Amino acid sequence: MFFEKKVERFLEELGQKAQLPLRVELWNGRFIELSPHATVTLRINDPAAARYFLHPTLAKLGEAYVEGHVDVEGPLKDIISAAEGLSRRTDATGQGRLPLWRWAHSRRMDRKAIQYHYDVSNDFYALWLDRHMVYSCAYFKTGEEDIHTAQEQKLDHICRKLRLQPGDKFLDIGCGWGGLIRWAAKHYGVDATGITLSRNQYEYASKRIEEEGLSGRCRVLLQDYRDVPGEAVFDKIASVGMFEHVGLKNLPLYFGVIHRLLKPGGIVLNHGITAADPDNRWAPWGGGEFIEKYVFPHGELPHLSLAIREMSAQRLEVADVETLRLHYAKTLWHWAERLEQNRLRAAALAGEKRLRIWRVYLAGCAHAFEQGWVTIQQVLAFKPARAGESPLPWTRAYMYAPARDAEAAQPSEAMRLA
Ligand SMILES: C[S@@+](CC[C@H](N)C(=O)[O-])C[C@H]1O[C@@H](n2cnc3c(N)ncnc32)[C@H](O)[C@@H]1O
C-alpha cells in the first residue's frame, strides 16, 4: 500500500515537473493527467508493475510493456517521446554505458543470437519489410518515396559504389533474405554468393533465386563469415547491416577475413550501424540495454573511428564514407508503421510478446537515429593492388550514373598515376 501511494505521488509530481503528453491509468481505475493535452494513455495493469516507474529508463519501460505489465495507446512518436521524457527524469545526462566487457562471439554464440532474431517467421518479416525483404537502411532521394522504391535505390547505390561489372565474383556477407545478391545478379550480371546464419533466410532466399531463374549465377550458403574458404576469391564484397553482430573483439578477425577473400584491387562496402559516442558507449537512457536483452543479443556498435581503424589495420584502404543516419530513421518509421497496420496478423504469426518487442524496437530505433544516439555509415574501401593505382575513378560521378545496366556496360576509368 505504501508502495502504491509512493508511485502515485511520484507520477503526480512528474506531471507537475515534466510536460509529457501522457495520461496514466492506474490499476485502481484512477487517472493521473501529466498534461492537459495528453495524446498517450499508459495503463499500469497491476501495482507490482509500479516498480518500473520509480526510476524509469527506456529499458525498464520497454520491459514493463513487453512483459504485459502495462499497455499503451497513442501515436508511436508520442509514445517514444513520452518514454524518453520519463527516463530523463531519472537521469538527466542519459549517458550510455561503456562496453566494459566484451562478448566472446564464438561461432556457437553468434549462431544462437542470429537464430533468436531472424528465425522468427518469414511471413512475419514480410508483413512490414519491402517486397525484396531488405532488412537494412534504405536510401531516399526525396524522402517521399515508399519503402519499396527506397530499398531498390539502396541496392543500386551499393552496386554502383562497388562498380559491379558483368562476370564479377561478388560476395554478400550476411545476405539476409537475398535481396542484394538477386538484384546484383539480375541487373549487374555478377556471379553472386550470399552467406547467412539464419536457416529461415537461407530457405527463403534459395527458393526465390530458383523462382527468379537465377540459379547458376546466384546462390546462398548457410555459413559463418569466418568459414568462407580461400584467398583472393572475390572481386567485390558487400556487408550490409551485418557487422553489428561481429562484436568489437572480433573486428580485426572480420576485416581480416574480408582482406583475405578480396582479390588485389577488389572493393568492399561495409554498411553498418555505429555508436554515436566516440568511446563506443551504448545508446543512452537504457536504450542499449533493451536492445541487448530483447532484440539483438550480443550486438555491439563501434564508433566510426574504431571501424575505420580496424579496417585500416587489416590493410583495407578506406576510400569513401557516407552517413545515412536520417535515412535509417525514415526506414525504421516506415517499418514501424507497416507493422502497426498489421498488428493482428503479426501477433498471430510471431506471438503477442514478440510483437510487443518489435513495436518497441522499431519505433525506439527510429527515435534513436532521429535523435543521433546512434548513426550509420557506408564505408567503401579496397585492397590495394599496386602503388599508384586505385580501382575507383577520380570523381564520385560513378555512384550516381543514371541507368544501372548502361553503367555496367561502360565503366568509368579507374584512377592511375602515369
Ligand atoms: C540485419 S540482417 C541484414 C541482411 C541483409 N544484408 C539486408 O540488408 O537485408 C544481418 C544479417 O547478417 C547475418 N549474420 C550475422 N552474423 C553472421 C555471421 N557470423 N556469419 C554470417 N552471417 C551473419 C544474419 O544471418 C543476417 O542475414
pLDDT in tens, 98-109: 886 678 899 999
List the residue whose alpha carbon is closest to atom 19 of ligand 1. Answer: 224
137 close to 161: Cβ distance less than 8 angstroms:
no
Spell out the alpha helix ranges (H) of 224-324: 251-261, 287-290, 304-313
Q: How many CA atoms within 13 Å lie on the side-chain side of 148?
A: 4
Nearest to 52 by CA among 65, 41, 40: 65
Q: Strands across the sheet with 31-33, in order?
A: 31-33, 22-25, 40-44, 70-73
179 touches ligand 1 (CB under 6 Å): yes
Task: Output the pLDDT for position 170.
Answer: 99
196 touches ligand 1 (CB under 6 Å): yes
Task: Output the pLDDT for position 251.
Answer: 97
Compute the distance from residue 161 Cα to the ligand 1 centre, in Å.
20
Report whether pLDDT(403) > 60: no
In angstroms, rounded to a whole number, what is the distance separating the alpha carbons of residues 152 and 154?
Answer: 5
Report whether pLDDT(411) > 90: no
136 close to 145: Cβ distance less than 8 angstroms:
no
Task: Output the pLDDT for position 294.
Answer: 97
Report whether pLDDT(1) > 70: no
First to last CA, the chain: 83
The most distant pair of C-alpha atoms in the chain lies apart, rounded to whole Å, by 83
If one compares 16 and 242, the residue with the highest pLDDT of the two is: 242
In angstroms, rounded to a whole number, what is the distance separating the alpha carbons of residues 190 and 7?
Answer: 61
Query: What is the pLDDT averaged over residues 310-327?
Result: 98
Task: Output the pLDDT for position 101.
Answer: 64
Site to substitute for ligand 1 among 103, 196, 254, most atoms within 8 A of C-beta:
196
Residue 410: pLDDT band by 50, 70, 90 thresholds? Answer: low
Task: Output the pLDDT for position 409.
Answer: 45
List the residue whose alpha carbon is closest to atom 1 of ligand 1. Answer: 241
Nearest to 308 by CA among 297, 300, 319: 319
170 touches ligand 1 (CB under 6 Å): no
**365 counts as catalytic:** yes
Q: Write out pLDDT tens, residues 105-128.
A: 999 999 999 999 999 999 999 999
240 touches ligand 1 (CB under 6 Å): yes
Instruction: Look at residue 52 and give its three-state secondary structure.
Output: helix
331 touches ligand 1 (CB under 6 Å): no
Q: Write out pLDDT tens, residues 208-261.
A: 999 999 999 999 999 999 999 999 999 999 999 999 999 999 999 999 999 999
In angstroms, rounded to a whole number, what is the distance separating the alpha carbons of residues 232 and 313?
Answer: 18
118 touches ligand 1 (CB under 6 Å): yes
Report whether pLDDT(286) > 80: yes
If one compares 322 and 403, the residue with the highest pLDDT of the two is: 322
239 touches ligand 1 (CB under 6 Å): no
Query: What is the pLDDT averaged over residues 168-189?
Result: 98
Compute the distance from residue 181 Cα to the ligand 1 centre, in Å.
13
Query: What is the pLDDT averaged over residues 20-33?
Result: 90
pLDDT above 70 coverage of the chain, percent: 95
Q: What are phi and psi of 321, to 5 degrees?
A: -130, 130
Spell out the alpha helix ranges (H) of 141-178: 147-161
- Alpha carbon dihedral 280, 151, 170, 250, in 10-degree steps, equals 20
Site to substitute for ligand 1 among 114, 155, 253, 257, most atoms within 8 A of C-beta:
114
Specify the DSSP element, H or E, that contains 408.
helix 404-409
Q: Write out pLDDT tens, residues 49-95.
A: 888 988 889 999 999 999 999 999 999 999 999 999 989 888 888 88
Query: What is the pLDDT averaged over residues 396-404?
Result: 82
Question: What average pLDDT is seen over the chain?
Answer: 93
Residue ranges of E strands in 74-175? 169-173
Query: What is the pLDDT averaged over residues 325-346?
Result: 98
In angstroms, rounded to a whole number, what is the distance separating the alpha carbons of residues 402 and 406?
Answer: 8
274 touches ligand 1 (CB under 6 Å): no
In angstroms, rounded to a whole number, what is the distance separating the alpha carbons of residues 194 and 241?
Answer: 13
Total number of residues shown for the chain: 418
Site to substitute for ligand 1 among 137, 153, 242, 269, most atoms within 8 A of C-beta:
242
Task: Output the pLDDT for position 34.
Answer: 85
Compute the distance from residue 196 Cα to the ligand 1 centre, in Å.
5
Q: Write out pLDDT tens, residues 129-160.
A: 999 999 999 999 999 999 999 999 999 999 99
DSSP calls for 334-355: HHHHHHHHTHHHHHHHH-HHHH
Domains and CATH numbers, the chain: 2-88 (3.30.1050), 107-386 (3.40.50.150)
List the residue whose alpha carbon is closest to atom 23 of ligand 1. Answer: 174
Question: Closest ligand 1 atom to the C-alpha of 110?
Answer: 19
Instruction: Look at residue 306 and give its three-state secondary structure.
Output: helix
DSSP calls for 6-32: HHHHHHHHHHHH---SEEEE-TTS-EE
Task: Output the pLDDT for position 95.
Answer: 87
Q: Write out pLDDT tens, residues 156-165.
A: 999 999 999 9
Specify the DSSP element, H or E, that contains 117.
helix 107-118
Q: How far is CA 332 from CA 12, 62, 233, 337, 368, in A?
A: 33, 17, 35, 8, 10
Type of residue found at 83: A
In angstroms, rounded to a whole number, what is the distance separating the alpha carbons of residues 318 and 401?
Answer: 22
371 touches ligand 1 (CB under 6 Å): no
